[in-house]
Each structure stands twice: as structure tokens, then as C-alpha cells.
Amino acid sequence: MKTVCLYFQVHQPWRLRRYRFFNMGKDHDYLDDPLNRSIMQKVARECYLPMNALLLKLIRDNGGRFRCSFSITGIAVEQMRAYAPEVLDSFRELAATGCVEFLGETYSHSLASLASEEDFAEQVRLHGLMLEREFGVKPEAFRNTELIYSDSIGEQVARMGFRTMLAEGARHVMGWKSPDFVYTNARDQRLRLLLRNYKLSDDIAFRFSDRSWDRWPLTAGKYVEWLASNQTPGDTVNLFMDYETFGEHQKADTGIFDFMKALPGLALGSGLEFATVSEAAYRHQPVAVLHCPHVMSWADEERDVTAWLGNELQNEAFGKLYALHDRVRALHDPDMDHVWSFMQTSDHFYYMATKWLSDGDVHSYFNPYDSAYDAFINYMNVLSDFQIELARAEERHAAAAAPEGAPERPAAETEPKRRPAARRRTAKA
């Protein structure tokens, strides 16, 4: 029996406010709270709440035979907690069914796997703690930011204890092989890999409402025929996409919710089955080792990481951010840790891209910047002020650790005009 594996990514970045050079050293509120609130509440209204309600109904109506998987970033959960707590409640309802799997990933949707194995592991650990706290689940499968994967990254994920990982079924990696089978990591064959069928996934995520597409309109019946067809040979068809596909990228008036409502029943009636990521990975035996010596992702036609690290602006920002790693970790300061977390989010680097992005309309939606250079300047202004605050925090830490009798530094050198706790309370209110 062919398995359909549906996986949805849930993520919203903390968007930065317009932060000028003249704010540095004086004003330490970095986040655009009105914008973050309005976007989260809009996406909750148009996507998260109606789609979660629909999935819950589909699970119940089909006696638990309809199953799917999610990954939800810690950054997104922070915003749900602050601006749309009812969304968290609806995800908890889905978790309680036992038919929905929540995958591990990086807490802040970061590029840490490209920077530091230590920071990558810490991000994954924090995300696992969040899943246990919010949904009472411990992740067994893993999905890296933007499906970034290589043999080396897969090996690191296996060392963290995961036994299944998602990756892109990129043509330049797969060659003649089909993504519709289970594979294993080249360095640690205990790690099983599920590869995205990008054509069938993008038929929903990108092409569903495209009237110039020669297959438009896409009906559930037509789509199930493609899934069940002998022209789609394999053990498992992996359909991975942004959750915001439903109601945001593809608006309700396109019929996307009606499509999803009809899909499970027609698929089950055609002899297909649904499974979570872990179920699909262990229901079928691996057919081969996947060799991927170079990093790939699910972004753009190139399926590489140049969408985030493809120009001098991005690389300079990325390098300066991760150069602060050891200093931030040494402080054990919750305020600094919080800012360090949201500054790592990959979206900040995506906004700096200067290449032509084939899927840019989807991946850069709600982009608050007029240009890549505008995004770079704003990010670097915030990062520069964060460095000033970090130095002040280090001075306070050193003063507190000084032995008795040591001369104290003047207050002006040790106390900032405004403690960074204010921005933390704003973000986590």
C-alpha cells in the first residue's frame, strides 16, 4: 500500500522595527510589536485556526486513518503565546488525537547547522524542551530549517538521537532515483531519510491557483489519481509544504480548503494510506544510501543555500552574528539569550538576498523592507546595538564577580541607560 506523508512547516519570524543609527546605545527595543501582532493575528484568522479545525474534523471523520506531521518553530510559538493563544490551544487539540506528529527542528528557524555544531545542538535542545512544555510530546523525527541537509548535517542529527530526517528530493542529488522511497544517511545509516516530492508538493503550494498552469484547476479527484498512479511509483509520496499555503499563499476563495476537505476520503477510497513522518519512515525498508556531500535545501530552483548566504551582505551579517556566540553563551543572561535567538532567524538573511528568487513571492511574504540593502542596514544597526549591550552586560558580570575590596568602576561604565529586559518582556508578554 502506498503511503501519503503530509508534513507542514509552521513559522513566523519576529520582525525587527525600523532601527536607525541614532538609536544605537540609547534605544534597545528591537521588535516591531504592532507589525508582529497584526501578521500573527491575520495568519491565525486566515490559516491556522480554520485549517487546524479542518484537520481535526478530518481525523475524527476518518476514524484516525488521516494522519499528518508538523514542525512549529519556537519563534512562532512565542508569537502565538503573545498574540493568538487560541492557536496554541488548537494545536494541543491536534496533538491529543495521537494522529499528528510534531517534529524537532531549530528553535529560532536558524542557520545554525551551517555555523556551529554546538549552537545547532543547543537550538535543537531548546526546541525539544518547548515541544514537551507546550504539547507534551518528545520529537523523534527531525526537520532542519528550510530542509537544509548534507551528509555531515544528517550525521549530526543522528548523534542527537533522531532516527528520521526530512530532506529535499533535489534533482541534482537524486539523479535518476525517485524521492518516493525511504533512504539512509551516507555517514550513519541508522538515520532514515524521507525526501520531498517537490513536483507534487509544489502543485499545491505554488500552482494551485495559477490559471496559466496547464493542469488548472486542480481538483482533489485529479490529484488523488496522480498520487495513486503507476506513474508515481514508490512506497511513500512525501508532500511537504508551508502551512501558510492554506488560506495565506492560496487564499480561501481559490478553493484550497475544499480541496483539502475532499482529499483524505478520496485517497483512502483509492487504496492509499496516510502516515506521520516516523510511521512512513519505518513502515517501509530503505532502498539505498543517499549521498549528499554538499548542502542542499528546498529553496528556489538551485535547491542550495544561496538564498540566505549568497552575497556579501548576507555573509557579513552572518559572520558578525555568529562571532558573538561564545560571548553570549558565557554570560548566561536570559535577556541576551532571547535577542541572540531571534537574531538568528533565517528570514533576516533571506530579506538581504539579491538573487532572483523563483519562489520569492511565497518565501518573502510580509517582507518589511524595500530592498536587500535596506534589510542589511537595519539588521546591522540592531546587531551593533546588541554588541554595545553585550559589552555592558560583560562589564556588569565582571564587576559582580570581582573579589571584595577591588575598586568599583564608575556607574556610567557599568550600567546601561535602559536594561534590555524591556525588549524581552515586550516579546514574551
Residues with catalytic function: 146
Surface-to-core class of residue 81, CB atoms within 10 Å of its CB (0-12 exposed, 13-18 middle, 19+ buried): middle
C-alpha cell at 309: 548566504
Three-state DSSP class for 148?
Answer: coil
CA 91 to chain centre: 16
C-alpha cell at 177: 532515483
State the number of CA atoms in the 13 A half-sphere of 102 facing the CB: 26
> Any idea what DSSP says for residue 48?
I
Three-state DSSP class for 16?
Answer: strand
C-alpha cell at 194: 524521507
CA 172 to chain centre: 23
Amino acid code (one letter) for 72:
I
Q: How far is CA 222 from CA 6, 216, 232, 256, 301, in A?
A: 18, 10, 14, 14, 26
Amino acid code (one letter) for 292:
C
Q: Where are the alpha helices (DSSP H) in 207-276?
A: 220-228, 256-269
Beta-bridged to residue 184, according to DSSP, are: 192, 289
> Any idea what DSSP says for residue 357?
P
Surface-to-core class of residue 389, CB atoms within 10 Å of its CB (0-12 exposed, 13-18 middle, 19+ buried): buried
Radius of gyration of the chain from its Cα atoms, rounded to whole angstroms = 22
Q: How far is CA 44 from CA 106, 176, 361, 398, in A?
A: 22, 41, 20, 44
Rounded Cα–Cα distance for residues 304 and 335 (Å): 33
Q: Where are the alpha helices (DSSP H) in 136-255?
A: 151-159, 171-174, 198-205, 220-228
For 30-53, give one letter per residue: b (16+ CB within 10 A) or e. Answer: bbbbebbeebbeebbebbbbbbbe
Rounded Cα–Cα distance for residues 208 and 96 (Å): 31
Rounded Cα–Cα distance for residues 242 and 265 (Å): 22
Do 427 and 78 form a contact (C-beta atoms < 8 A)? yes
